[in-house]
Structure 1
Amino acid sequence: MYLTPEEEKSLSGENGEALQASTSLLVDVGEFFNAEKLISVASAHISGVSYLTGGDGLIDQLELFVNKGAKVSVPSTLNPCGMDRQNWESMYIDLAFATAQFRILQLFQDLDVSTTCSCTPYDYGHLLHKGQHVAWAESSAVAFANSFFGARTNKEDSLTVLSAAIVGKTPYYGFHLTEERKPNVEVIVDANLQEYTDYSILGEIVGKAFKKHSFTYGAIPVFRNITNPRPQEIKALGAALASFGTQLFHIEGVTPEQELIGESSLEDSISINDNMINETLDELKPQEESAITVIGCPNANLEEIKAVSDLVKGRSLKEGKEFWLFSSNALKAIAKSAGYLDILFDAGVKFIVDTCPEVMPYNKTKFKSVLTNSIKAQHYISAPSLNGLPTYVLPLRKCVEVMFQ
């Protein structure tokens, strides 16, 4: 693997312990994937932030970097932590968890990371463009960056992305290479996709269908017959696909890398119809009454916030029910100025920032199951390694009907 003279100095320790450790890790990864060199990245988005997923080991790891004098060298944002920093008590978070989470966030600040704590960095700050190389780690954000913008990133893990942020570079392999971005499977959509949950279900069906293949970098679908999808619908599709390892997809006539579609060699094809969408949704419908609904996985954009406020306006929660809407601090300020927050608060909605439905600890005394409109949330909330709660899926409008009077 070729290294510049400056990279050689970093690897040998001449530029300090932090750069030595980070460069060494990136070189190891690059050599494993036969990367020819390191390339500069415009930004980093760092995952592995919640105390629920990282525990004390995350604190130890971050302290190690801080003690070595590490600082990020490119604009770097942070994935959701495990709680709303201002309103953690209203989420039934205990003091021990909150104390550990605040310690983690302080350590990231010591590294000069912007503690934005959102899984949708493209909704604030990161304006990507086609062909731009970045190092991102959040799976749904990777899929959105690669697919919606045509930017270039692999799915980094929490350690390699921090190293990339410190060095400002990442190994040149995988989705950084044009030849690896061509679609390898085809999806013909003969279904009438109406809203967010339909796209989420579509991602579930496609992810399962192509999981049998052993592609080096996962299935890269090209979708046909999808017209004028909203950004949040593309986000929902990508988030569901990412749950099955897909980091990039193309939509004929929509996404920016249309030139790659004609150059591709497709190894499999599937057609999706309305019956398949409805059958999958029927499998995921509530099997019991849930006391909580969570919306915003990935974090809700302004259009989604408005949609919720329109649906709950003038209504009130049923007794014993809670409805949590997750978004970013940046969009909370805009939602407030637009008047959406007042409507949501009047209806009893909790507007949660800094975290997401999948990496926060649920109070299992209060909540025995969860309702959502997101396949990604359903996958991860129900995972035994996280909260292990039964999680059901309904479209947003039906979620509101269940929870409000």
Structure 2
Amino acid sequence: MSRNEIVGRCLVPGHASGDVVFTDVPLSFWMGIDTESGAIIDRHHPLCGTVVTGKIFVLPGARGSCSGSCGLLELIHNDKAPAALVFAEDEAILTMGAMIGGEIFGKTIPIAAVDSESFARLAEQKSLTVDNGRVAVGRVESKGEIPTPTRRVNLTASDQAMLEGAEGKARQVAMRVIARFAEVQGVTELIDVGQAHIDCCFYTGPAGLGFAEQLNAWGGKVKVPATTNATSVDTLLWRRGGVEASFGEISQRVIAAYTGIGVRPSFTCAPYLLESAPGFGQQIAWGESNAVAYANSVLGARTMKYPDYLDILVALTGRAPLMASHTAAGRQATVRIDVPDLGITDDSFHPLLGYHVGLIAGSDIPVVTGLADAPPSRDDLKAFSAAFATTAGAPMFHIAGVTPEAETVEQALGDKIPERHVVLTRADLLQSWRELNTATDPAVELVSLGNPHFSRDELGRAAALCSGKTKAAGVDLVITCGRDIYREADQAGLVDELKRFGANILNDTCWCMIFEPMLPRETRRLMTNSAKFAHYGPGITRREMHFASLEACIAAACSGRNPGDPPDWLRG
């Protein structure tokens, strides 16, 4: 093989040449890239502002949101996608977006994966050609050879019947994509799953809407119980909530498409708070990155980090590739991260820690030590999961002495010796605190809570902090939660207490989907207790962000200001 040619793995076939954009930092294609311009908008990424349209985009892989597949599909539909993608791993999320583009719309881009040594070499190149898995320096002609998968997936008689169309067009297409996806990932077996959580139930653009309505037009119906993720609007109140009529109506079309397929309209990004939450060891197919991390890590259920679109295809068939965290071997930790004793902390500690652990872990599953003596609560683990899933590509984590598959460090590691052993310092966490606090002025015009959706206990704590206090006239306080949790909180009197303070509580939608005019144009600085939203917020809202504890957020809602100083436990 010539030094100017690399024979990689063909994830999506095709031929493209172009100038190179290279990064060694993973990127989320949802909330990390503008699907209408092709520009990177993740303010924490070194290539922020770079336009990747028409380029050969070389990056280690995706991180963060399961909706990266939606982002790539919309880029392809809008003719703003990279000419090709080259990864340092058999990436799944973006691969699915390109597969759906080809399957449903006849329009896709080539994707290849290369080994780590070859990936490093590509940093030096100015132009590349991607040709059915082959990566060549410069611009060269296609050899026209599409490699066949090295492993074929084993299909049962029932699988084969679906593939041949015996159960309708929707299940036929779903099984075809699932089998193809399994083969390019090197998987030979499919398994039954007991439930699914569908992440792409919000308006991502015309391509995502077209996909959902096509499945519905084909008569698709889910085979296993499935729930909806948060959607684009409060489905009950959007007409009087400042939402443009055209956007509200098109969001309703997305909802109608998925509920028409048989997906339960739960509209929450925290499905682990529902009565239908899975049990330990149950095989499931969940989208939504924070929910995947929580289900795997805290509940001990088994799901891979399902790309949007693959989740609904699995729900249609009840069948999933036996890969990654569906297997015992795929759940073992390979990185050990020791956390120092920081004394008494506040509730910003766990989201901050999850954010930093995700940065360290990348695509590797970590086991975190040092938390067992002061075990995190369920809500602490929820905040940790969301932050971890924002910066990591891995589907789960372990916390020694806390999570169910890590009674000890040794249990989490299995028969492995950690490939890396990292000892965190207070200074490390302080650095991440500063990265999340992008506001340059102490003023706060809006306090945003509920990313992920607030639990009943979180609503209770917020109500207690608001009791007897008055919200500042120039500050909005907006909380998002699922409709099931809202009903519980309303019956307990918490909703009335929060509304007396002046809070606005939204159902069904969440902060990753709230834009103008729901977000007032005059609002320049937001404050949140969510490390996930503090990370994505600057890019998706074009606003500055304050990040701190829930108590500090309520205090800012009363004063309209946040001093911005790190808490005492972080300064030492």
Instruction: State the TM-score, normalized to the length of structure 1.
Output: 0.93
Alignment pair present for 1:111 and 2:261:
yes
Match of 1:9 in 2: 161
The amino acid across from 2:273 in the alignment is D
Q: Give the length in aligned residue pairs.
A: 395
Match of 1:328 in 2: 482
Contact residue 82 and residue 361 of structure 1 kept, 8 A = no
Alignment pair present for 1:206 and 2:360:
no
Q: Counterparts of 1:191 and 1:362 in 2: how far apart (Å)? A: 42
Match of 2:271 in 1: 121
Consecutive unaligned residues of structure 2, counting only runs of 5 or more, are 1-152, 560-572
Consecutive unaligned residues of structure 1, counting only runs of 5 or more, are 212-217
Alignment pair present for 1:222 and 2:375:
no
Alignment pair present for 1:369 and 2:507:
no
The amino acid across from 1:329 in the alignment is R
Q: Counterparts of 1:204 and 1:158 in 2: how far apart (Å)? A: 22
Secondary structure (helix, strand or coil) at the match of 2:440 reads: coil
Match of 1:130 in 2: 280
Alignment of 1:3-402 (within 5 A): 3-51=155-203, 54-89=204-239, 91-192=241-342, 194-211=345-362, 218-227=363-372, 228-244=375-391, 245-258=393-406, 259-285=411-437, 286-288=439-441, 289-363=443-517, 364-383=520-539, 386-402=540-556
**Which deviates the most, 21-30 or 239-248?**
239-248
**Which deviates the most, 236-245 or 134-143?**
236-245
TM-superposed deviation, 1:255: 0.9
> Once superposed, what is the RMSD of the aligned Cα atoms?
1.6
**Which deviates the most, 159-168 or 242-251?**
242-251
Q: Counterparts of 1:166 and 1:260 in 2: how far apart (Å)? A: 33
TM-superposed deviation, 1:135: 0.4
Q: Counterparts of 1:337 and 1:314 in 2: how far apart (Å)? A: 20
Contact residue 81 and residue 360 of structure 1 kept, 8 A = no
* Runs (4+) off by over 4 Å: none
TM-superposed deviation, 1:226: 0.6
| Higher percent of residues as helix | 1
Q: Counterparts of 1:236 and 1:246 in 2: how far apart (Å)? A: 16
Contact residue 449 and residue 530 of structure 2 kept, 8 A = yes
Contact residue 294 and residue 324 of structure 1 kept, 8 A = yes
TM-superposed deviation, 1:65: 0.4
Instruction: State the TM-score, normalized to the length of structure 2.
Output: 0.67
Q: Counterparts of 1:179 and 1:262 in 2: how far apart (Å)? A: 8
CA distance 1:177–1:262, change in 2 (3 Å):
closer
The amino acid across from 2:174 in the alignment is S
Contact residue 17 and residue 68 of structure 1 kept, 8 A = yes
* Residue-by-residue CA offset, 1:61-104 (whole Å, 9 max, x unaligned): 11110111100111100111111112225542211111111111
* Residue-by-residue CA offset, 1:231-290 (whole Å, 9 max, x unaligned): 111111111111122311011111111333343321112222334334432443342323
Secondary structure (helix, strand or coil) at the match of 1:157 reads: coil
Q: Counterparts of 1:2 and 1:398 in 2: how far apart (Å)? A: 55
- Higher Cα Rg, which structure: 2
